[in-house]
Amino acid sequence: MDKHTMRLAFKARRQAMSDSECKTRAEALCKHIMESAEYKKAHSIMAYLAMPKEANLDALVTQALAEGKAVFVPVCVSKTEMIAARLTRLDDVKTGVLHIRIPNEPYETAAPNELDLILVPGVAFDTKGGRMGMGAGYYDRFLAKVPKERLIGVAWDIQVVSDEIPMEAHDKRLAGLITDERVLTFKKLCILIM
């Protein structure tokens, strides 16, 4: 299956989920992230504010803010550039490009290499650290100089395949993947099933 066909198939799979299923899965997903060593030791985290049916991190963002962690979310500032903008309250947002919630301006930003942990969304992931994004390349460019050890993919478990996802030279592999059902660690080449 080529990347385009695969991307469409996985978007359709995600869209077929019910709202109640998404809510239940989000609770398990956020719990797994908050229990991870990477989350516990991070002072600054880049999460994201989910689109409908996307793996939702709102509960995690709320908890991280309550714990005093610096939370950043992506904001697309041009057709090619994404920045990490600080989020201080989950209710202090507006709707941006692609109907994605973003913080109100002015933005306090962080460079990609200043973030301790980046939770990376995607359309599909494989069990070897591969990721397929939405196709615009925002995350690929943003993550280009970030050490792999700081990158954890986040998805519903139905977005994970055992076959390798087609990867290009600019695609960045991840150190781990957390879903609503399991935690996979790629940097140590081991898999922990939850």
Rounded Cα–Cα distance for residues 87 and 91 (Å): 9
Partner residues linked to 93 by β-bridges: 103
Whether 121 has a pLDDT exceeding 50, the answer reads yes
Four-CA torsion 191, 57, 79, 99, nearest 10 degrees: 140
Residue for token digits 């994201």?
Answer: 48
With bands split at pLDDT 50, 70 and 90, how would you rate the model's confidence at 185?
very high
Pairing of strands 109-110, 131-132: unpaired
Percent of the chain with pLDDT over 70: 95
How far, rounded to the nearest angstrom, does the alpha carbon of residue 152 sit from its chain's CA centroid?
A: 7
- Is residue 101 a contact partner of residue 54, using CB atoms and an 8 Å limit? no
The full 3-state SS of 4-66, as one line of letters, equals HHHHHHHHHHHHCCCHHHHHHHHHHHHHHHHHCHHHHHCCEEECCCCCCCCCCCHHHHHHHHH
pLDDT band, residue 190 (cuts 50/70/90): very low
Token pair, residue 164, equals 């390798």
Domains of the chain (ranges plus CATH)?
A: 3-193 (3.40.50.10420)
pLDDT (tens digit per residue) in 126-178: 999 999 988 788 998 999 989 999 999 999 999 999 888 888 877 888 999 99
pTM higher than the cut 0.95:
no
Q: Are 131 and 120 in contact (CB under 8 A)?
A: yes
What's the pLDDT tens digit per position in 48-61? 999 889 999 999 99
d(CA 153, CA 130): 9
Altogether, the residues listed in the chain come to a count of 194
Over residues 67-97, the pLDDT tens digits come to: 999 999 999 998 889 999 999 999 999 998 7
Q: Map residue 132 onto helix, strand or coil.
A: strand
Residues 188 and 194: their CA atoms lie apart, in Å, by 17
